[in-house]
Each structure stands twice: as C-alpha cells, then as structure tokens.
C-alpha cells in the first residue's frame, strides 16, 4: 500500500508531513513525499490515498492530481483557513489510519472541466473564472447554455463554480452556498453593470459556453491562468471525474460553515 503525501512548501506543513510519513512507514505503508511547487507534479504511482498537508490552495492542487487518477484524498490543515483541509494535525494520525482501513466513508464531489476552442484545459474542484484584463474597464461576454443564448454580462467577469467552489470566490461575488454533495453548475457574474443580474444554478448536464469580443483571462481554481483571445470559445461542463474526499468524520459541512465562515454569526 502506498500513500502520496502532497505537502505545502512551508516549515510547519513539512514538519507535520514528516511526522505522518514516520507514522505510515511504521505501519509498513510506503510513502511518496511531494512538496507542492508551481510547475511540478508528483511521481505517478499506485496510490491508495493522497494525504494533503497544507491549506486550501495545496488541497486544490492535490485534488486536481488525484481526481483524474481516481485516488481518494484527505486534507490535514496547515494553512490559515483550511476550509477544505478539514482534519487538524492532532487528529490526522487516527483518521488516516481509519481511511486506509476502510473505516471512513468518503464523499463524492463533482468537478468541472474547461475547454478553450474545443481543447481540454483541465479538471477543477472549485471554479473556472473568465475575467477582464487588468487595464480594461470592463468585459462583455455572451453566455450560452446548451448552445442556447442565456445572458450577456457586462462586468468584471463571470464565475462557473462547482458546489465545492460555492464557498470560495463565488461567495465573494455574491453567490449562494451549495451543499457540496450536490451536483450543479453555479453561474455568478462578477460586478455586473446591470442592476438585474443574479447568480444562477444550472443543471449539471448542461454545457456552458462563454464568448467575448475582447481579450480575457481564464483562471482555474484561482491557481492556473491562461489568456483567451477574442472570439475564442470557453466551454465549462461537469467533469467525468469525481473527487473522492475523506471529510472530517465528526464535523458536518454546516459546522464548518459556522466555524470557519462565521455563517449566521
């Protein structure tokens, strides 16, 4: 049995990861230790689990690697916020062992994938954002769903988010919270210039198409970015892959919302 340690490049995270490495090796479990850095990827392997040690940024990178390889994932928080990395350091040893022993029930979370001019860009757990370039005053974009014209947005950009991503950038832009076990595409305009624009929930089997006359910028999971030329088509749809996620066994989504987002406080 082999575990991928997917670690944030920070002293605390590496320290915690090393403790977990020892713990696993004592149990005769092989460990691949990977420190996450831009442009680098872990070695391929037959991993039973990806164990992320870090914050939400590290988790998203780990999830992108793992989901398309059908590796389940668990997150240990060594970041500031840790909305996705639900397990605290103290609890990690117990829960990793339980997950590997099949004693925890993972959650399936949908991903979205993005295409530019028909070419796959990747699969993402949080969101795909098309936005104006820095110096532009605004972006105009036509949005289609299932090839039908949906709405024209004048503003800073548009977000297409998964339910998991609904508590990330989409929330800042005014979107609703979506329970992460649901399947839906969340469309949120960013700073729209019309008074009447609202977030919209779109069925997960719809393909969303975005076309702008201007040069725009595509941001994936808030981490990867590519420039999009005028009239290039950006498609966003549900990915065939899922993220298999070991959430905290004793803290529900609602609990984490109240604690970490101060929901309802």
Place of tokens 């996620």: 245
| Choice among 46, 56, 117, 221 that is catalytic | 56
How far apart, in whole angstroms, are the C-alpha atoms of residue 189 and residue 149? Answer: 15
Q: How many residues bind a copy of itself (CB under 8 A)?
A: 59
First to last CA, the chain: 44
Residues 18-77 touching a copy of itself, rule: CB under 8 A, are 57
Q: Which among 64-72, 93-101, 148-156, 238-246 is the span making contact with a copy of itself, rule CB under 8 A?
A: 148-156
Give me the 184-223 binding string for a copy of itself, x by CB under 8 A, dash otherwise. Answer: x-x---xxxxxxxxxxxxxx--x----------x----xx
Name the nearest CA neighbour of 65 among 184, 263, 181, 221: 221
- Is 56 annotated in a binding site? The answer is yes
Residues in the chain: 265
4 class by beta-carbon count within 10 Å (0-12 exposed, 13-18 middle, 19+ buried): buried
Q: Is beta strand 233-246 parallel, antiparallel or unpaired with respect to 73-77? A: parallel
Q: Which among 4-12, 120-128, 173-181, 231-239 is the span making contact with a copy of itself, rule CB under 8 A?
A: 173-181
- Is 122 annotated in a binding site? The answer is no
Name the nearest CA neighbour of 29 among 53, 7, 8, 48: 48
- Residue 13's Cα: distance from chain center in Å? 20
Binding residue (CB under 8 A) for a copy of itself from 25, 149, 230, 259:
149
Site residues, a copy of itself (CB under 8 A): 57, 131, 133-135, 137, 145, 148-153, 155-156, 163, 166, 169, 171-179, 181-182, 184, 186, 190-203, 206, 217, 222-223, 225, 252, 254, 257-258, 261-265
Kindly list the catalytic residues: 56
């Amino acid at each position: 049995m082999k575990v991928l340690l997917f670690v944030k490049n920070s002293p605390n995270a590496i320290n915690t990861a090393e403790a977990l490495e020892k713990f696993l090796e004592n149990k005769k479990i092989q460990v691949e230790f990977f420190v996450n850095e831009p442009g680098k990827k872990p070695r391929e392997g037959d991993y039973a689990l990806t164990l992320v040690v870090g914050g939400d940024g590290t988790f998203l990178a780990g999830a992108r690697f793992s989901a398309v390889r059908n590796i389940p994932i668990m997150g240990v928080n060594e970041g500031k916020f840790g909305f996705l990395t639900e397990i605290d350091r103290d609890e990690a040893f117990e829960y990793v062992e339980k997950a590997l022993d099949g004693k925890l029930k993972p959650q399936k979370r949908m991903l979205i994938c993005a295409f530019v001019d028909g070419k796959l860009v990747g699969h993402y757990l949080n969101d795909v954002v098309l936005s104006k370039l820095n110096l532009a005053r605004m972006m105009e974009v036509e949005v289609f769903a299932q090839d039908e014209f949906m709405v024209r947005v004048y503003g800073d950009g548009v977000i297409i988010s998964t339910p998991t991503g609904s508590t990330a950038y989409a929330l800042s832009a005014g979107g609703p919270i979506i329970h992460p076990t649901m399947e839906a595409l969340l469309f949120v305009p960013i700073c729209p210039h019309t008074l009447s624009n609202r977030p919209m929930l779109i069925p997960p089997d719809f393909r969303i198409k975005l076309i702008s006359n201007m040069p725009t910028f595509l941001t994936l999971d808030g981490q990867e970015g590519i420039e999009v030329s005028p009239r290039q088509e950006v498609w966003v749809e549900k990915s065939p892959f899922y993220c298999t996620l070991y959430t905290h066994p004793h803290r529900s989504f609602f609990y984490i919302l109240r604690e970490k987002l101060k929901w309802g406080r």
